[in-house]
């Protein structure tokens, strides 16, 4: 969270990065409870976990475009 706050000016869409951060935090809470219950540890949970993880990684491409200087504040 700190690197995102420090370097958000270098992101082409900082709101996407913040949204992904919120999704990752919520998903962490969900999986903490889900993996704690043996009955819920199924292949469906694993596939969902991987899908969310890969989705968050691929969202980096939406949030960060190659830039060399920070955006100007208006």
Q: From CA 5, how far away is CA 62, in angstroms rounded? A: 17
- What is the pLDDT, as a whole number, of residue 64? 78
| Average confidence score pLDDT of the chain | 82
Q: From CA 11, how far away is CA 65, in angstroms rounded? A: 7
Name the DSSP letter for residue 64.
Answer: -
- What is the pLDDT, as a whole number, of residue 68? 55
Full-prediction pTM beyond 0.75? no
Q: Helix, strand, or coil here: 70?
A: coil
């Amino acid at each position: 969270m700190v690197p995102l706050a420090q370097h958000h000016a270098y992101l082409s869409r900082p709101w996407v990065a913040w949204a992904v951060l919120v999704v990752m935090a919520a998903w962490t809470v969900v999986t903490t409870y889900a993996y704690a219950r043996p009955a819920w540890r199924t292949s469906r949970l694993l596939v969902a976990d991987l899908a969310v993880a890969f989705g968050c990684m691929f969202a980096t491409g939406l949030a960060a475009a190659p830039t060399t200087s920070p955006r100007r504040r208006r």
